[in-house]
Structure 1
Amino acid sequence: MSDDELLADEAPARALWLMTLADLALLLVGFFVLLQANQQLDPRALAAGLAEGFGAEAPAAMPVASYGVAGFAPGSATPPGTPAGLAAWARAELRDPRVSLTVTGATDGTAADVDPRSRSATLLAADRARAVAAALASAGVPDARLGLATAVRPGRRQVLVTLAFAGEQGKKP
């Protein structure tokens, strides 16, 4: 008997389509389990659990748009004049309860662009963010929806106001 005849006599133990069908059925069961878990849990807790399971960090708010205030003098936290359009933009965008604003103060990282009292770039960046946030609050932007952050960005003495989609607030399924 030749090798070709031996191979022709052997039939596969399972049909290939049956294994593919079993894989698809398991994926479908997993999908339905995920849907059921989504109905039982807070969506943020579910996302955090999935991220933890895959060894990733939980997703933060998704940035959508930004508005910059530039032109700060080195070592100064005094805004060069907050654009009137910034306050109007912020008020209009915050009408949607699912969004939040983050005011990020930045320094350029040079020795001249530091807080004059403490010689700290991070404190100067925080002071810049607070100054712009205070200007927004005095223009009628709800300060409870403003977050503050700092950054060192080479070549940039600015404050960046970022609009982010934060999801449904206080709503549980």
Structure 2
Amino acid sequence: MNGLPPASIQPRRARWALSFADLALLLLGFFVLLQASGSRRDQTLRGIGAQFGASASPSDINLPLNPLFVPGEALLSPEGRARLVTTALPLAGQGEILEIQSFGTEPGQRRFDAWDLAAARLGAVARALQEAGVPQDHLRIAGLAETPDQAGPAGKGQTIRIVRRAQPR
């Protein structure tokens, strides 16, 4: 005997390796497609989740800030505050964090330059949500986005995106 198992046992041992290789290639293909979807990644993941029976949650919201704020200032108008609260509060869930992201800027005028105005408005949105009842530890300010493709065409002003995130454990 040469120490090798009989020939009838060898093909059965190799079957699991073929199945494992198929699984590995399938997962690799999935992640390549997910990466290739680029800016539509969240939409793709929601679609995949829906196919597997995941419950649909309120989608993230994008709010252009021009109609919400006093022009050139970081002060919410009364109508803007009401619109912000009624739009964003349904996203506040049990144990989840609302992440506030900012895209784009507007030209500053008197007190603020463009960056200061964008940052001040981001803070004003967070304070308004906190005053509306969202606990401070459930709010996260992500800051100003650095990728211009997410802000949309140039000159469109500042946009705030409010995204639900799972609470870190």
TM-score (structure 1 length as normaliser): 0.49
CA distance in 2: counterparts of 1:101 and 1:93, whole angstroms: 10
The reply on whether 1:78 has 2:75 as its aligned counterpart is: yes
Q: For residues 25-49 of structure 1, give each alpha carbon's deviation from its aligned partner in whole angstroms, at most 9, with x where no partner exists.
A: 4345x59xx9xxxxxxxxxxxxxxx
> What are the ranges of 5 or more consecutive residues in structure 2 without an aligned counterpart?
1-13, 32-41, 44-58
The reply on whether 1:24 has 2:19 as its aligned counterpart is: yes
* SS of equivalent to 2:98: strand
Distance 1:138 1:168, change over 3 A: closer
Distance 1:146 1:159, change over 3 A: farther
* SS of equivalent to 1:100: strand
Which structure is larger by alpha-carbon Rg, 1 or 2?
1
* SS of equivalent to 1:132: helix
Counterpart AA for 1:84: A
**Structure-1 residue corresponding to 2:144:** 150
More helix by share: 2
> What is the aligned counterpart of 1:127 among 113, 120, 124?
120
Where do residues 66-105 of structure 1 align in structure 2 (5 Å cutoff)? 66-68=61-63, 69-71=65-67, 72=69, 75-81=72-78, 82-104=80-102
Q: How large is the Cα RMSD of the aligned pairs?
A: 4.1
Distance 1:83 1:75, change over 3 A: closer
The reply on whether 1:163 has 2:159 as its aligned counterpart is: no
CA distance in 2: counterparts of 1:168 and 1:147, whole angstroms: 11
Q: How many residues get paired?
A: 121
CA distance in 2: counterparts of 1:105 and 1:79, whole angstroms: 18
